[in-house]
Amino acid sequence: MGVESSGQGWQLIAEDNPEQFEGTDLDVRAVMAGLPSEVWDGFEFDRVPWSRFPHVFGPGEEVAEELRRLLSADAPTVLSVVRDLRDIVCHAGQPSAPGALAVPFLVRVAADPSTHHRSEVLWLVAGVARRVHNHGFGRGNLLLVGYADDEWAFDAAGYLQNWSIGAARDAITADAGIITALLDDPDPEVRCLAAYVLAAGSGEIGAIRAALHERLRVEEIARVRACLVLAVAQLAREHPVEGVVDWIRECWQDSERAGEVRVSAALSWLCLVDDPVPDELRVMLGVTVTDELDRVIRPIPWMHMIDSRNSGLSRCLERLL
C-alpha cells in the first residue's frame, strides 16, 4: 500500500509491525537510497517526498522551507534557522525521518566555506544520526550510535527512530568524502564536528578511520585531537576491527602523548572493553585531568551529550570508574 493512498501514512508503522513496511515508501532509508545524488547536489528540494514524513509539529515540507532559508541567509539568520530545524527534526534530542532527509543538504551547506555557523550545521547532522543518549549510561554507552536490531524506538511523531537514524548514517557514509575533507578545514570547531559526524557513519569505515588517523598526526589543537581519538573509538564500538583497542590502550599508556589524547583514549578504552579498571589508568587520570585539561575537553560533543552544563568530563569519569 502506498503512503499517498493509505490516508494514514507513517502512523501505520507505530500501529502495526514495522517490519512489514521495511523497504516500502514508508521506509525513509529506502526512499533516500532511491534518490539520485543530483537531488542533493542541486538542492532540488521539490524532488524529496517530504509529505510522507511529518515531524512532531507539522508537515515535512516545513523542513524544506527552512533548508531553503539556509542557502542565502546572513549569520544571525543561519543560527536561527539551524536552531529552529533542530527543534523540528531532533525535538528533545529525538532523531526524525525529516531530519534524515535533510542530512545530505545540510552536509553540502556545511561544506560551503561561505556558510555561516558551519559547525552548528554539523551539530545538527550528528544529532539526527544518533540515538537519544541514556544519561544513566555505563561503560560502553558513551559510544553508542544506533539501536540494536531488536530494540525499537519511536520518535515523538510516532515514526521508527531506528530507520531515521539508519537513513541519516547511510547519508553520512554516502557523503563521507565531503565530510572527511572538512577534517582539514581552517576552523577547529568544524574539524571537531566533522570527526563527530564521521563517527556515526554506517560504512566506508576503513577510509574514515584512515582519515581520522591522518588528521591526528598533524592536528595542533587539543580539543580537536580529543575528538579524533573518540571518533576512532566510536567507529570501533559500532564496527569492531582488530588492533584498534590495542592502539587506544597504547595511547593512554604513553606518557609522551598529550594529556587530552591520553584522557580521551582512557575514556574510549573503558567503553570498548569489560576489563577491570587498572590502577595504572586511575593514577594517570588523577595526574592528567587538571582544571586546564577539563576546560579543553569539556566542550567537545561527546562530553556535551553527557551534560550540557559543562560537567561532562567529571560526570563521565565518575560513572565509568
Task: Say whether both 66 and 131 belong to one domain.
Answer: yes
Checking if the pLDDT of 276 tops 50, the result is yes
Checking if the pLDDT of 308 tops 50, the result is yes
Checking if the pLDDT of 245 tops 90, the result is yes
Q: Tell me: the pLDDT tens digits for 137-148?
A: 567 778 888 887
Q: What is the mean pLDDT of the chain?
A: 88
Give yes or no for a contact between 228 and 215, defined as CB atoms under 8 angstroms apart. yes
C-alpha cell at 15: 500501529
Task: Say whether both 49 and 193 belong to one domain.
Answer: yes
Give yes or no for a contact between 175 and 269, defined as CB atoms under 8 angstroms apart. no
CA-to-CA separations, 105 to 68, 165, 187, 289, in angstroms, rounded: 10, 16, 20, 39
Task: Say whether both 98 and 37 belong to one domain.
Answer: yes
Task: Say whether both 155 and 224 belong to one domain.
Answer: no
Nearest to 321 by CA among 248, 269, 262, 270: 270
pLDDT-derived band at 317 (thresholds 50, 70, 90) equals: confident
The whole-angstrom separation of Cα 88 and Cα 62 is 9
Give Cβ neighbours of residue 154 (< 8 Å, ≥ 6 apart): 14, 160, 161
Give Cβ neighbours of residue 258 (< 8 Å, ≥ 6 apart): 222, 225
To 10 degrees, what angle do helices 75-89 and 118-128 make? 10
Checking if the pLDDT of 9 tops 60, the result is no
- Give the pLDDT score at 4: 40
Task: Say whether both 47 and 183 belong to one domain.
Answer: yes
The whole-angstrom separation of Cα 262 and Cα 151 is 34
- Give the pLDDT score at 293: 93
Range of the domain at 45: 1-203
Determine how many CB atoms are found less than 10 A away from the CB of residue 236: 23
Checking if the pLDDT of 10 tops 60, the result is no
Q: Which of 81-90, 113-122, 146-155 has the lowest mean pLDDT?
A: 146-155
Domain boundary among 137, 169, 203: 203
- How far is Cα of residue 305 from the mean position of the Cα atoms in its chain? 11
∠ CA 190-193-198, rounded to 5°: 120
Q: Tell me: the pLDDT tens digits for 208-232?
A: 999 999 999 999 999 999 999 999 9
Percent of the chain past pLDDT 70, that is, above it, reads 91
The tally of domains found in the chain comes to 2
Classify residue 143 as exposed, middle or buried by CB count within 10 Å of its CB (0-12, 13-18, 19+): buried
Task: Say whether both 125 and 20 belong to one domain.
Answer: yes
Task: Say whether both 139 and 267 belong to one domain.
Answer: no
If residue 82 lies in a helix (H) or strand (E), which one and from where to where? helix 75-89
C-alpha cell at 123: 551539530
Domain boundary among 203, 218, 251: 203
Higher pLDDT, 4 or 293: 293
- Give the pLDDT score at 146: 85
Domain boundary among 139, 172, 203: 203
Q: Which of 2-6, 77-81, 226-230, 239-243 has the lowest mean pLDDT?
A: 2-6
Measured over the CA atoms of residue 249, residue 253, residue 258 and residue 263, the dihedral's sign is positive
Main-chain phi, psi angles of 258, to 5 degrees? -65, 150
**Helix, strand, or coil (residue 55):** strand
Checking if the pLDDT of 3 tops 50, the result is no
Task: Say whether both 212 and 173 belong to one domain.
Answer: no
Mean pLDDT on 156-184: 94
Higher pLDDT, 68 or 148: 68
The whole-angstrom separation of Cα 266 and Cα 229 is 10
C-alpha cell at 35: 534518490
Task: Say whether both 225 and 125 belong to one domain.
Answer: no
**Helix, strand, or coil (residue 219):** coil
The whole-angstrom separation of Cα 62 and Cα 94 is 18
Checking if the pLDDT of 313 tops 70, the result is yes
Instruction: Tell whether pTM > 0.85.
Output: yes
Q: What is the DSSP string of 157-175?
A: TS-BHHHHHHHHHHHHHHT
pLDDT-derived band at 309 (thresholds 50, 70, 90) equals: low
Percent of the chain past pLDDT 90, that is, above it, reads 61
